[in-house]
Structure 1
Amino acid sequence: MTSSMTFLPDAAVDVAPTRRASPIGIEHQWRRPVDPQSPSNIVVSRWTRNVAHPLRVVNPGNAEHHCIAMNLKCASLTFKHEGAPLVRGRVAAGAVQVTAPDVACSAEFESSADVLHLFVSQQVLAECYEDMFGRVHAGDIRIDDPRLVRDPALERLGQALAVSQSDDAALGKVFTDSVSLAVVSRVVARHFTLAERRTREASPLPSWRLSRAIEYVDAHLAEPIGLADIASSTGLTRMHFASQFRRTTGMRPHEYLTRRRIEHAQHLLLTSKHNVLDVALSCGFRSQAHFTTVFKRLVGDTPSNWRMKENIDR
């Protein structure tokens, strides 16, 4: 940042005026709501900068509440979470970030900005979890994944909050409370659904099992090989082997087998006098036509042309 940057530990002076009858407070200190928080409520406040001069702000973290930040307009900044840079550059409108309690963060703004902050108590998180999953969460809920989230549903809810205003203060508060609760429910659902999905994901294939699979494939390239054969060599069922193999290598077993056959075919084409048909049969292909089709798809040329060009270049 430039030496002309203003440094404010937790305050800013270029905030917009409060809207009439708005249930959303204006932050005069970054990430610090003006209104006190009840354990059963969600406090919503807005951080707005209408100027573009550099500004740095810091916040030590709320001791009890999660902070859900919803970006309302594109902004250029550096955002640090527990001292580690999370964002450097432009942040798109609609981006959402969640900070857990007692987590210090700071921001260095290079542009104007408009952000909604929702301060959420443990009680609200617990109620949302119980409503969504039909059971009580064991212990406190802590959403500790600070990465930026792009979720169209959250973006629309943030936009609805941003324009919430009414001549009837009570009506405005009901609307804000309802939309805020929908935001928290969505954040809770995303967090625990993704966590459950990660738990269900296949674990990587242990290196010794992967070695066995590779050795089996290399030893039987000329033979018809099925998924059950490769899985059996590792001591796993077809389903478990296939999912773990793909998680480890990024390829399905059939894709890997095909690539190894083509690699072996390339080796034979360069080091032996076999014709293309013999090479095809030696690598497990049932016909020269099928071999040529697969070879051209993976290598970019027919076996004959590839062999001729390679021999010229050598």
Structure 2
Amino acid sequence: MPRRYQSFETLTKHHATLHDTVHLGSGIQLAAWSNKNDCVTQEDPDHHTLSLYIADGYECYHKTRSGWQNGGGPDRFCLMPKHNVSSWDVRGDLSFVHMYFTDDHLRNVIEQTWDRSPANILVDEHVFSEDQQITQLYRHFLLSCQWQENSNQLMLSTATNLLVTHLARSYTHLQWALPTVRGGLSPSVLNRVKEYIHGHLGSSLQLSELADIAGLSEYHFARMFKQSMGVAPHQYVMNARLIRAESLLRNTQLDITTIALDCGFSSPSHFSNRYKSLRGIAPSSLRQNSLRKF
């Protein structure tokens, strides 16, 4: 059963409107919210929360020792560590996305990425701050796809791993430089990973699954895979799904719904939209063109 995050539960009891949410295999939860005319206090959560303002937020106020202060707006982020009490007065429109993660998950990412185990992890609080890398990861990956679509889970898990790694490096007391990754995967490991991918194209793949098969951290696996294949894991998997779909469209009489599910898409509409955006033609048109050749 997915973990219940206190900050998420608190917002459900206020005026905030939940637009979408997804639990990823690593334990991370994403949630897209909007709010207006609301006062919210987060009381001593046992997890960390990264918030990015997507739209508006100019009239969002944070309670400080010197009183209520604002400074929000699109692409401003707030990082709220565990056990941190914070109060917010939302006086205007606000759209934002939360990423919830535990100290255990953060420690696991640190240990796997740097192969070192810190005695403790102190996450810095940041309110109404700006970070181009956080913004790019949110907008390019997390906001550019439908969270409930199975075929997007690998991209989502990759992006959240990058976010947590960036937070560990930039917003904790550790300040460790990222390790250098040289060389790609060995041929045997690469073949093992590719064999697993092609055998599970109909499944909702996660980055952690593929990294476990390679015996590497998610950070090292993603970079070594790209060095070996020239594309990121989620790009390789999406292309493999489309290649399988093309073969089924050309060589079988399976309906498009069956083909979509077989290739890891949640619905024929998701499959058709993604196929057309990447191939420039609708699946139905490809099938019709193939039939004309016979």
Normalised TM-score (structure 1):
0.46
Greater C-alpha Rg:
1
Normalised TM-score (structure 2):
0.48
